[in-house]
């Protein structure tokens, strides 16, 4: 079985005009680092679960992406991070919701996956992480000036009831990975700060299994990004898995259909998907999605805008 890994770093109105050449280079480099981290696991015969974990750790550590270091702020000027991971072989799943403290929220989710729980929230989740030796960072670890300024701009816009003309990429974002390993098992991992200026307590699609994160060897592994409320209301990831199982659609057809349908009702975003034969789909219904794949040849392929061919 040829192993493959796909990643994303968020989707939205990512415009060439507002991107500097330096930023573009940095985004590609960040994606490549994450692809190489996950590929190292797969190339050594490791599991899809470990590969998606390592890829997402790399993306969380990169301040360019909205997860871990670089996560967006709530309207209260705080951080509430969500992360989820799921294993297709046995449908083991773990998610943390609205946490602050663990350096890598995806490692917190991974610890939940290894426990009797599936989803832990807030203070209880943070205590669980302490009890389970999940590494912590100072509370300011997610901070970046760019995200703080994005919050101030958003709060000012709301005060003036002005139209929202921001790049989606400044408003939200997410990181995620899906993989198929040489043993034919698949897994998915997703991590996010959510939406800039989100209400404290707001939960997006990322930690909701069947919405933003899903993995089942019998269908597909999925990590989504975009306007989370839509992905939850339409159970986007699970819907794709159902189409594959009940209608016999391929991962490409099923995921394209769902993402297109979400776009038609205002749910901007995209996702990455893989099946247990290593077929990959990277559909999105907006101007761009930070994305990349790496297969057996070990060559990291990355893309940002819609007009670029899929990597
Ligand atoms: N889906 C994330 C959320 O709603 C945001 C994003 O992916 O851009 O929290």
Span 111-147, pLDDT tens digits: 999 999 999 999 999 999 999 999 999 999 999 999 9
- State whether the beta carbon of 270 lies less than 6 angstroms from ligand 1: no
Distance from residue 2's CA to the centre of ligand 1 (Å): 30
Residues of the chain with pLDDT under 70: 165-171
> What are the catalytic residues?
174
Q: Where are the domains of the chain?
A: 4-305
Distance from residue 258's CA to the centre of ligand 1 (Å): 17
Residue found under tokens 């890829």:
55
Query: How far is the C-alpha of 59 from the C-alpha of 66, rounded, in Å?
Result: 9
pLDDT tens digit string along 62-89?
999 999 999 999 999 999 999 999 999 9
Q: Minimal CA–CA distance to 188: which of 3, 311, 5, 2?
A: 5
- State whether the beta carbon of 225 lies less than 6 angstroms from ligand 1: yes
- State whether the beta carbon of 195 lies less than 6 angstroms from ligand 1: yes
pLDDT at 289: 95
- State whether the beta carbon of 295 lies less than 6 angstroms from ligand 1: no
Topology classification of domain 4-305: 3.60.20
* Number of the ligand 1 atom closest to the C-alpha atom of 174: 7
Q: Which tokens in the block code for residue 117?
A: 């729980």
Query: How far is the C-alpha of 269 from the C-alpha of 289, rounded, in Å?
Result: 8
pLDDT at 170: 64
Distance from residue 275's CA to the centre of ligand 1 (Å): 23
234, 207 contact by CB (below 8 A): no
Atom 9 (ligand 1) nearest CA:
194
73-77, long-range: CB < 8 A, 24+ apart: 73/147, 73/148, 73/150, 73/151, 73/193, 73/196, 73/197, 74/194, 74/197, 74/198, 74/199, 74/200, 74/202, 75/151, 75/155, 75/197, 75/198, 75/199, 75/200, 76/200, 77/151
Q: What is the pTM of this model?
A: 0.96
- State whether the beta carbon of 204 lies less than 6 angstroms from ligand 1: yes
pLDDT at 15: 76
């Amino acid at each position: 079985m040829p192993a493959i890994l796909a990643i994303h770093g968020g989707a939205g109105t990512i415009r060439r005009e507002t991107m500097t050449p330096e930023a573009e280079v940095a985004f590609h480099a960040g994606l490549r680092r994450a692809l190489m981290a996950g590929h190292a696991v797969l190339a050594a015969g490791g599991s899809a679960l470990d590969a998606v974990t390592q890829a997402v750790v790399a993306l969380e550590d990169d301040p360019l992406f909205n997860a871990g270091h670089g996560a967006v702020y709530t309207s209260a000027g705080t951080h509430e991070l969500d992360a989820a991971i799921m294993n297709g072989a046995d449908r083991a799943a773990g998610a943390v919701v609205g946490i602050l403290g663990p350096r890598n929220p995806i490692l917190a989710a991974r610890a939940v996956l290894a426990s009797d729980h599936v989803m832990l929230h807030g203070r209880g989740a943070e205590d669980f992480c302490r009890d389970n030796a999940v590494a912590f960072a100072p509370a300011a670890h997610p901070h970046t000036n760019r995200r703080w300024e994005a919050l101030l701009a958003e709060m000012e816009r709301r005060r003036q009831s002005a139209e929202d003309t921001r790049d989606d990429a400044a408003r939200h974002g997410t990181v995620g990975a899906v993989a198929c390993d040489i043993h034919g098992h698949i897994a998915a991992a997703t991590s996010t700060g959510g939406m800039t200026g989100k209400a404290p307590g707001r939960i997006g699609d990322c930690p909701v299994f069947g919405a933003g994160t899903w993995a089942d060897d019998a269908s597909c592994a999925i990590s989504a990004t975009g306007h989370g409320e839509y992905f939850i209301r339409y159970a986007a990831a699970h819907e794709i898995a159902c189409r594959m199982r009940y209608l016999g659609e391929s991962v490409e057809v099923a995921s394209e259909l769902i993402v297109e349908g979400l776009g038609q009702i205002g749910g901007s975003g995209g996702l990455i998907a893989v099946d247990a034969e290593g077929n990959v789909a990277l559909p999105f219904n907006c101007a761009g999605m930070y994305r990349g794949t790496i297969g057996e040849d070990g060559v990291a392929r990355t893309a940002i805008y819609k007009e670029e061919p899929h990597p």
